[in-house]
Structure 1
Amino acid sequence: MAGPDMSADLGNLGGNQPDDDLFADDDAAWDILEGRGTARDADDDNAADRTDALTGRASQSSHSSHQGVIARVFDAGFAEFGDILRDAPDAPLPLIVALDQVQDPGNVGTLARTLYALGAAGLVVVRHGGAAPGGAAARAAAGALEKLPVAKVTNLARTLDEADEAGYTIYAAGGAAPDMDGKPGSGPRNPFTEPLRTPAVLVLGNEDTGIRPNVAKRCHFTLSIPMARDFDSLNVAQAGAILVGCFAARRQKG
C-alpha cells in the first residue's frame, strides 16, 4: 500500500466509524490500553454513576464508557515485538503483519481475525496515527485480539530494521514500488505467483496515503494484487486478507 494508485485500491473504506470507535490519537484510549488512566477520582466516579433525578437513568461519561469497552476486550495486553520475532518461526504461518497508520478500527479487527484464523505470528500497530485496538476493533476481531499477539511500537521504521536484522523478509503491500536504491525486488510482484518467503513481515499502509516513504524503503519487496476486472475498491482489510492467504497457500505447498 505504497499509495492509493495500487492495483487493489486500499483507500475506499465505505462507512463511518461508530461513536465509540477509538483511535490512536485519542490519548485517553491509549492510556487505558497501556495500563494508565484506569483509576478515576471520586468526583468522576460519582459523576459516572449519578442517577438523573428527572429521567431515572444513570448518566455515564463517554470516557468512562470507552474505558469499560477497552478493559473488557483487550485484557490480554500488548506483547513485546522482540518476543513476536523470536516466536514467529514456530507459528503455523511465520508471518507478522505491521500496520502503518491504518486508521479504521474495523480494518484492524478484521485483519486480526484473518491472521489468527490462518495461524499468523502476530500483529504490529503504531502508537501514533493509527487505530487503537478498542471496542470496534474487538467486535470485528470476534475474539481474535484476545489470542493473537499484538505489539505496539512508536517507530515502525526501526521496528522493521529489527526484523531485517533478525533475517525476516519484509514485504510492502502496494502498487508503486518504494525507493529501495536498486535493491532486488524493487518492482511490484504478483503475490499469486511470487515464491513468498517466510519468516516475513507484511506491511499494510494507511487507507488514504499508503505506506510512508521512510517505512517503505525498509521493505525488500512490494506485492501488488492483480485485478481481473476494472475494479479497484478493495479496502485494507480485504487486500490484507488476500495477501495473508497467499502466504498461507505458499506455506501449505511447502
Structure 2
Amino acid sequence: MLIMKPETTDSTILPGIKPVLDQLRQSPDRVDSVTIRKGRKNADTDAIVTLCRRHGIRFTFVQDTALDKLFSGNHQGVVARVFNAGYVEVEDVLEAALASPLKLVLALDQVQDPGNAGTLARTLYALGGGGIIMPKHNASALGSAAVKASAGALARLPVARATNLSRALETAADQGFSIYAARFDDGSVNAFTARLDTPAVLVLGNEDKGVRPGVAKRCTASIHIPMQREFDSLNVAQAGAMLMGCFYARLQS
C-alpha cells in the first residue's frame, strides 16, 4: 500500500522501498532527493541507488533517527522527497521565458537555503519571469520550506535541473539570452544604471561563496547593487529581488 504524508500541496514525503522505486521508474523528474538508512543494502536499495545515479538525483545514507524526522511511520529505511510540480528541461525554461511578460530566467548557482530559493521563485513569478535553472548537485532541495516560501510560485514556474550549469548558460546564450552574474568584480557594473537586455538569465550565487568563477566565465556581464553604507552583503533573496526589479524597471521604461 502506497502511503504519502503531504508536506504541502507541492511537496511530498514518500516513504517505503516499493513506492520510492516506482516513483524513480515512472517519474524520476519529480524526485528531488532520496534518503536511505545506513547499512541497508539489498537488491532493492541497490536498484534505488542505480536509478538515482542514472537520473542525477541526490541520495544520502543516514541513521534511523534522521529518517524518523522525515517520516515517523514505517519508512522501511527509505524516504524520497517528491517535488510534485516536476522538473523540466533547460530548453523548456528558456522557451517559457520567451513567452513571459518579463523575459528573465533565474539561474541559482548552488544556492543552499530552501527559504531563499522559494522567496526568489515568488518574486520572479510576481514580476512575470519565465523560470528557474539550478544544478542537480549542491543545490537547495525544493521541499516544504522552499514551497512554503514560494507561496505557490514553484507550482507555476518551470524549474530545470542542469547537470552542468555552465553548459546550460551556453545553451541560453546560443538562443540569444544575455547572461548576467550577480557578482562584484573589477568589471562589474551598477545594476541600477546599466543597460540590461532581455531575454536574459540572472545568475545568483551561493550564500557564502557567490557565483563560481567557472560559471561567471559564461556570463555576458557582472552586475552589482551599489552600497551607500559600509555593509557586508545582502541576503541572496533580497539581492535577487532588487536585481529582478532592475530588469522589471527596464521593461516598464
Normalization by structure 2: what TM-score? 0.70
Q: What is the alpha-carbon distance in structure 2 between the residues aligned to residue 62 and residue 90 of structure 1?
A: 45
Q: What is the alpha-carbon distance in structure 1 between the residues aligned to residue 29 and residue 95 of structure 2?
A: 22
Q: CA deviation at 1:142?
A: 1.0
Matched ranges for 1:99-248 at <5 A: 99-177=108-186, 187-248=187-248
Q: CA deviation at 1:104?
A: 0.7
Secondary structure (helix, strand or coil) at the match of 1:210 reads coil
Q: What is the alpha-carbon distance in structure 1 between the residues aligned to residue 28 and residue 203 of structure 2?
A: 23
Q: What is the alpha-carbon distance in structure 2 between the residues aligned to residue 109 and residue 63 of structure 1?
A: 29
Q: CA deviation at 1:189?
A: 0.8
Q: CA deviation at 1:166?
A: 0.8
CA RMSD of aligned residues (A): 2.9
The answer to whether the Cα contact below 8 Å between 2:30 and 2:84 also exists between their aligned partners in 1 is no
Q: What is the alpha-carbon distance in structure 2 between the residues aligned to residue 238 and residue 60 of structure 1?
A: 40
What is the count of residue pairs matched by the alignment? 197
List alignment gaps of at least 5 residues for structure 1. 1-21, 23-27, 41-57, 178-186
Specify the alignment match of 2:62 in structure 1: none
Q: What is the alpha-carbon distance in structure 2 between the residues aligned to residue 63 and residue 141 of structure 1?
A: 30
Question: What per-residue deviation string (whole Å, max 9, x for no partner) do you get for residues 157-204 of structure 1?
Answer: 100111111111000001125xxxxxxxxx111111111100000101
Q: Structure 1 stretch 197-206 or stretch 226-235: which is displaced more?
A: 226-235
Q: Could you tell me which amino acid in structure 1 is paired with residue 164 of structure 2?
A: N
Q: Could you tell me which amino acid in structure 2 is paired with residue 124 of structure 1?
A: I
Specify the alignment match of 2:29 in structure 1: 34
> Quick one: structure 1 residues 59 and 82, their matched pair in 2 at CA, closer, same or farther if it must change by over 3 Å?
closer
Q: CA deviation at 1:62?
A: 10
Q: Could you tell me which amino acid in structure 1 is paired with residue 177 of structure 2?
A: Y
Percent identity (aligned): 53
Q: What is the alpha-carbon distance in structure 1 between the residues aligned to residue 86 and residue 113 of structure 2?
A: 20
Q: CA deviation at 1:130?
A: 1.0
Secondary structure (helix, strand or coil) at the match of 2:130 reads strand
Q: What is the alpha-carbon distance in structure 2 between the residues aligned to residue 169 and residue 201 of structure 1?
A: 6
Secondary structure (helix, strand or coil) at the match of 2:239 reads helix
